[in-house]
Amino acid sequence: MDEFEQLLSRHQRVVERYVRYRCPKDAEDILQETYLTAHQRFGQLKDKNAFKPWLITIARNKCNDHFRSAPPASLSLDAIPEPADLRFGLPEPTLVSDVLDALSKEESSLLELFYFQQLPQQQIAKMLHIPLGTVKSRLHAARQHFKAQYPASGKEETIMKKLPALLPAYTITESKEAPFSVKWEELMGWFLVPKLGEKLSWGMYDLPSRKCDHIYDMQVTGKAMVHGIEGVELTAREASYSNKNDVVYRTFVAQLTDTHCRYLATLRNDGDVRNYITFLDEEAFMPNWGFGENNCGNEVNLSVKGHIRREGNIITSIPNPFLLDIVGRYTVEINGKVYDTVCVMDINTYDAGVVSEQFLDQNGRTILWRRYNRNDWAMDRYGKPWTELLPHNACLTVNGETYVEWYDCITDYIL
């Protein structure tokens, strides 16, 4: 195996993940073009330690070439796919269309080309046979006119509600009705929907004390790009409920599409160094932030698959590294309110020996989240099995093994 083949085999998974993120339908063709170009130009690479960013640059250019060569889409607003509005959390399509209809044809066409079809300004100028400077000035004016006419122009803010010090009492009753399908757009593990304008507070409650241990105040702060992939930036303020000075700030980038919700990057402070870790940093990123094959993310459109089956507190599942499924329909009464929910379970998806129950209402929002540890989980750290550490907590039997409930989470959505 020559030097090029050795380096390619070492970094091939990273570049494949990048291309599949940007161009999932044509990934194989783009990858072949990337490898061919890299092989042809390998002799020009002076610093072989820079092979990985060099290879990703070639892949990025191939993806950009692919977008430029794609035939322009129709300018008809009726042809705009609904999911295009959701990536950056733009308003609902019907409202956007109403505002666009109120603009001039020239302005609505420019906005569609730039935001919906994601064409660069140079290509728009070529298509419309006008100078680039004219495109820029007209696009700026179109933005201002859209902002002025859109009724929810960002002036209203969501007010975060104060979470209680004690977990509200709740009951969970299994329903005889069939589970409903649900659109679940929340970030797995963080409960926030990655759309512009979204804010959320959620709390972690110890059991059996029911005392709040930590509170997380989260919000989407703006648009973001990671290796050319569109997403939004989120910040989280993590604070101890009992010690207000014990605060940690987190920043990460996530992406919502019509099929999946996934993390793209996270910011880690290493002393005085701000360390950005992305989905291409496999060893550092995937264990804590990755989910699904090639970090495709958690599914948005959930329905019963039959991969996980539940009878009371007895859980059985098929062998699969990424298990997440609806296991039943339940009525959850909490904080004086009653919710019709489906229970979504995941088994060992982000940590071996961990199971979770997530009760979602028909809006796809979390009503209650419960974590369970396998009886021998982290024995080297805690010294005892969980049936001894938390003998009065609820238990599940998952594929013949005992799991003990550790803590619950609720969000301000139910307050």
CB atoms within 10 A of CB 254: 26
Q: How many domains does the chain have?
A: 3
Tell me: do 141 and 178 sit in the same domain. Answer: no
Q: Evaluate whether residue 163 is within a structural domain.
A: no
Tell me: do 346 and 272 sit in the same domain. Answer: yes
pLDDT tens digits along 350-374 = 678 999 999 999 999 999 999 999 9
Do the beta carbons of residue 72 and residue 179 sit within 8 Å?
no
Q: Evaluate whether residue 211 is within a structural domain.
A: yes
Segments forming the whole domain that contains residue 9: 3-69
Tell me: do 127 and 189 sit in the same domain. Answer: no
Q: Evaluate whether residue 46 is within a structural domain.
A: yes
pTM of the model: 0.67
Tell me: do 303 and 248 sit in the same domain. Answer: yes
User: What pLDDT is stored for residue 388 in this prediction?
Assistant: 96
Tell me: do 125 and 233 sit in the same domain. Answer: no
Do the beta carbons of residue 300 and residue 380 sit within 8 Å?
no
- Please report where in the chains the tokens 């209203």 appear, as a residue: 156
User: What pLDDT is stored for residue 373 in this prediction?
Assistant: 96
Q: Evaluate whether residue 310 is within a structural domain.
A: yes
Tell me: do 387 and 268 sit in the same domain. Answer: yes
Q: Evaluate whether residue 159 is within a structural domain.
A: no
Do the beta carbons of residue 256 and residue 224 sit within 8 Å?
no
pLDDT beyond 50 at 160: no
Tell me: do 177 and 289 sit in the same domain. Answer: yes
pLDDT-above-90 percentage for the chain: 44
Closest CA to 348 of 405, 263, 291: 291
Tell me: do 111 and 234 sit in the same domain. Answer: no
CATH number at residue 186: 2.40.360
Q: Is 271 left (phi over 0), alpha (psi -120 to 50) or beta?
A: left
Residue that is last in its domain, among 69, 93, 120 = 69
The confidence band for 246, taking pLDDT boundaries of 50, 70 and 90, is confident
Tell me: do 108 and 194 sit in the same domain. Answer: no
Which tokens belong to 201?
A: 């507070």
Do the beta carbons of residue 112 and residue 123 sit within 8 Å?
no
User: What pLDDT is stored for residue 312 in this prediction?
Assistant: 93
CATH number at residue 42: 1.10.1740.10
- Measured in degrees and rounded to the nearest 5, phi and psi for residue 205 equal -120, 125
Residue that is last in its domain, among 44, 69, 94 = 69
pLDDT beyond 70 at 296: yes
Q: Evaluate whether residue 139 is within a structural domain.
A: yes
Q: Evaluate whether residue 164 is within a structural domain.
A: no
Tell me: do 105 and 55 sit in the same domain. Answer: no
Query: Between the ranges 183-197, 233-247, 312-326, where is the mean pLDDT highest?
Result: 183-197
**Which segment of 155-159, 296-300, 361-365 scores lowest on mean pLDDT?**
155-159
End-to-end Cα, the chain, rounded Å: 62
CATH number at residue 100: 1.10.10.10
**245: three-class secondary structure by DSSP:** coil
Q: Evaluate whether residue 154 is within a structural domain.
A: no
Do you find a cis peptide bond into 391, omega within 30 degrees of 0? no
Tell me: do 46 and 83 sit in the same domain. Answer: no
Q: Higher pLDDT residue, 133 or 221?
A: 221
pLDDT beyond 50 at 80: no
Tell me: do 197 and 216 sit in the same domain. Answer: yes
